[in-house]
Amino acid sequence: PAEDEARIDEIKRLLEANNAVLVAHYYTDDAIQQLAEETGGCVADSLEMARFGARHEAETLVVAGVRFMGETAKILSPEKRVLMPTLEATCSLDVGCPADEFSAFCDAHPERTVVVYANTSAAVKARADWVVTSSIAVDVIEHLEARGEKILWAPDKHLGGYIQKRTGADMLLWDGACIVHEEFKAKGVEDLKALYPEAAVLVHPESPASVVELADVAGSTSQLIKAAKELPHDKLIVATDRGIFFKMQQAVPEKTLFEAPTAGNGATCKSCAHCPWMAMNALDNLAGALREGTGEIHVDAELRTRALKPLERMLNFKR
Ligand code: CIZ
Ligand code: SF4
């Protein structure tokens, strides 16, 4: 629509005028991902978003995603201004892991190495020995397991259980879940697979174990896009936020992508398989943030120093 065109032009002008770069997550709207691509920004998972933002020489980072992604950017680049289209965009994993309760849980298990998923607040990261994203989690836990360490893992129990199975590590799990991935149903995937037996099943391990078990490939968003390219299959059933279809379809224009069902009867619904918080990022509030400097992320200096350590461990980790 013409309205969107005008907004897009305005955002392009504002990015330039502010020496700003747009960093967008795979789960944001197509229009935002496309804008990030067209303006020299990046579209990525949270690990690559963090790396890109930290390396880029722009004075302002505009992070289209959810709150923890903006916080991570600020922790890694305190000298940069970090803006988000909205500060209301949170994550059920972050909300379900309050820092005080989490800290008490850690205190009760002092012998365990604390590994937290990136989808957490700065305060929770500050209590951790390691931060990991889903693209690096298995490698880091394998490394810690080989050193004989016992793990305390938070907050995603499905991802934690998956890593535990993959690595055999001794992991104590916090009871959190992603409201988007938790809705995928094994029965729905099986029914769809019965219709398209030649299709491969790609699953993000924030999904329940019963769904991950049906996967030809389980992995992070970036790993699933890579798998879409490498697998010989022409049809792919994909269990992760449908926002990923923008980049995945670009990567495999000739393949047919199916959204994994969030109901046992094979039906999908409009609000399922799409994160309501990612969906809060829009052209309007993105333009507004740049125009008015709203949605700026601040992280307390002392908290930042503590949260930086486990984040840097992740960024410096080599297999
Ligand atoms: O589900 C999420 O929020 C993901 C996949 C984040 C990430 O690591 O990119
Ligand atoms: Fe959090 Fe799930 Fe949304 Fe990702 S998709 S931001 S894990 S609620």
86-131 pLDDT, tens digit per residue, is 999 999 999 999 999 999 999 999 999 999 999 999 999 999 999 9
> Ligand 1 pocket, 134 CB below 6 A?
yes
CA distance 239 to 98: 27
Q: Please, what are the domains in the chain?
A: 2-89+278-299 (3.40.50.10800), 93-177 (3.40.50.10800), 181-259 (3.40.50.10800)
> Ligand 1 pocket, 92 CB below 6 A?
no
Residue ID of nearest Cα to ligand 1 atom 6: 46
Residue ID of nearest Cα to ligand 2 atom 7: 178
Query: Do residues 156 and 136 make contact, with C-beta atoms less than 8 angstroms apart?
Result: no
pLDDT at 263: 79
Residue ID of nearest Cα to ligand 2 atom 2: 178
Q: Roughly what angle, to the nearest 10 degrees, separates helices 157-167 and 137-146?
A: 50
* Mean pLDDT across 133-138: 95
Residue ID of nearest Cα to ligand 1 atom 8: 46
Residue ID of nearest Cα to ligand 2 atom 8: 91
- pLDDT, tens only, 268-300: 565 579 999 999 999 999 999 999 999 999 999
Query: Do residues 297 and 71 make contact, with C-beta atoms less than 8 angstroms apart?
Result: yes
pLDDT at 271: 57
Query: Do residues 134 and 219 make contact, with C-beta atoms less than 8 angstroms apart?
Result: yes
Angle at 158 between CA 71 and CA 24, to 5 degrees: 35
Q: Is 190 helix (H, G, I), strand (E, B) or coil?
A: helix
Residue ID of nearest Cα to ligand 2 atom 1: 91
> Ligand 1 pocket, 119 CB below 6 A?
yes
- pLDDT, tens only, 33-52: 999 999 999 999 998 999 99
Distance 129 CA to ligand 2 centre (A): 22
Local confidence band at 64 (pLDDT 50, 70, 90 cut-offs): very high
Distance 180 CA to ligand 2 centre (A): 6
Distance 45 CA to ligand 1 centre (A): 6
pLDDT at 161: 98
pLDDT higher than threshold 70 for residue 304: yes
pLDDT at 265: 63
* Mean pLDDT across 295-310: 98
Distance 157 CA to ligand 1 centre (A): 14
CA 147 to centroid of chain Cα atoms: 28
Instruction: Give the residue, out of 23, 25, 90, with the most ligand 1 atoms within 8 A of its beta carbon, to mutate for a pocket test.
Output: 25
- pLDDT, tens only, 246-262: 999 999 999 999 999 98
Instruction: Give the residue, out of 48, 51, 66, 134, with the most ligand 1 atoms within 8 A of its beta carbon, to mutate for a pocket test.
Output: 134
pLDDT at 255: 98
Helix H or strand E segment including 287: helix 283-292
Distance 178 CA to ligand 2 centre (A): 5
> Ligand 1 pocket, 60 CB below 6 A?
no
* Mean pLDDT across 15-39: 98
Q: Which two tokens stand for residue 100?
A: 């005080």
Q: Which atom of ligand 1 is nearest to the CA of 181?
A: 1
CA distance 77 to 157: 30
Q: Which atom of ligand 2 is nearest to the CA of 92?
A: 8
Local confidence band at 176 (pLDDT 50, 70, 90 cut-offs): very high
Distance 3 CA to ligand 1 centre (A): 30
> Ligand 1 pocket, 133 CB below 6 A?
yes
Contact residues of ligand 2, CB 6 A cut-off: 27, 66, 91-93, 119, 178-180, 206, 241, 275, 277-278
Q: Which two tokens stand for residue 11?
A: 């955002």
Q: Roughly what angle, to the nearest 10 degrees, separates helices 283-292 and 2-17?
A: 30
pLDDT at 318: 84
pLDDT at 1: 84
The answer for residues whose C-beta is within 8 angstroms of residue 291's C-beta and 6 or more apart is 10, 14
